[in-house]
Amino acid sequence: MFRAGIVGCGNIARIHAQALKNAGCAAIQAFADAKEEKAKEYCSLYGTEHTRAYHSLEEMLKEEELDTVHICTPHYLHVPMARKALEKGVHVFMEKPPAISKEEFFLLEQAKEKSGKEVGICFQNRYNDAVEKIRETLNSGKLGNVKGARAFVTWNRGAEYYTGSSWRGAWGTEGGGILINQAIHTLDLLVYLLGKPESAEGSFHNHHLKHIIEVEDTMEAYIKFPKGCACFYATGAYADDAPVLLDILCESGAVRMEGERLKIIKSGGSSQSYDFEKKSGIPGKKYWGNSHQACIQDFYDSILEGRIFRNRLESVKDTFLLAMDLYSQAKQNK
């Protein structure tokens, strides 16, 4: 069994820890957090009598013989910590985003290549049942070629979400706002389903958190894909966390995903609807998916079987570079 360590004992680490326990693909050998009492708490909640707590990743890597490290820390620590783990010959499974700048991403690529180890990124929504059904339908050709798409992320992130954290809401530590932190999952689905983007333009705004955060609370973009153009809109200024809406229009029909509900419409007017219920025992939130366990288990299975992982660093590069280009272009427009 793989020996895993988790660094960063916040809310998302709970999801990783529970997914590992449910899947049984790795034993959690250690937790690390700058607040060591948090690491000790997670040991008692998700570990065994042999699971140990550390106050830093460095200490954990020095004292433990690990096969994998899960990085669940603030964004600006993702690449520095991943590089340290890779230098120790440890596989890395990282929460999104993979970096907060192109320069960081390229450093991570170099570290991965030098180490020969795997780097997996937690774009878990690729494993959602609705998304897999959309991909299967598009690849079958039954609806013809894609003509265009639109995606909407309308969630609520108030002042307390940012003021309760020392790193959110700042370019230097979060790397952005709604796009890089929340809506990057939906941006990734567009890339995953429509292919490598050819061009994009966008703009961002801060509508409801002026003087509270530096980063954007709203982003809109127009993205050209080989399979058609997509209109993209994301905001954290809505009154609730609504299910993500994704429409893809094809020559002979369309698909509509709203949260876990999917409708496939054929040109003649007939349609088929699916309602993928939340998977029993798997942690997550309805509005952002519940496929962490499927994603994490596939990461370990791919290493064990020597096959390519669906969410390896190389496979999310187009999504990340698209996000960075949208930020760069939007800043120039401002």
Question: Has residue 278 got a pLDDT over 70?
Answer: no
Q: Which two tokens stand for residue 178?
A: 């709604």
Burial profile 302-312: b = 16 or more Cβ within 10 angstroms, e = fewer? bbeeeeebbbb
Q: What is the pLDDT of residues 291-315, one digit of tens each?
A: 999 999 999 999 999 999 999 999 9
pTM assigned to the model: 0.95
Instruction: State the Rg of the chain over Cα.
Output: 20
Which of 192, 220, 222 is closest to 207 using CA atoms? 220
The domain ranges of the chain are: 2-121, 125-287+310-333
Q: Which CATH superfamily is domain 125-287+310-333 in?
A: Dihydrodipicolinate Reductase; domain 2 (3.30.360.10)
Mean pLDDT of 155-179: 96
Percentage of residues of the chain with pLDDT beyond 70: 96
Closest Cα partner for 282 from 54, 10, 47, 18? 18
Question: Does 119 have pLDDT greater than 90?
Answer: yes
pLDDT for res 246: 98
Residue 334 has pLDDT above 60, yes or no: no
Q: Which two tokens stand for residue 270?
A: 């007939």
Residue 140 confidence (pLDDT) above 80: yes
Contact 224, 200 (CB under 8 A): yes
What's the whole-number average pLDDT of the chain? 95
Convert the pLDDT of each residue in 217-263 to its tens digit. 999 999 999 989 999 999 999 999 999 999 999 999 999 999 999 99
Per-residue pLDDT, averaged over 102-119, amounts to 98
Tokens matching residue 140: 């079958």
Q: What is the pLDDT of residue 11?
A: 93
Cα–Cα distance, 128 to 298 (Å, whole number): 13
Which residue did the predictor score with more confidence, 334 or 25? 25
CATH superfamily of 2-121: NAD(P)-binding Rossmann-like Domain (3.40.50.720)
Predicted pLDDT of residue 289: 62
The pLDDT value recorded for residue 184 is 98
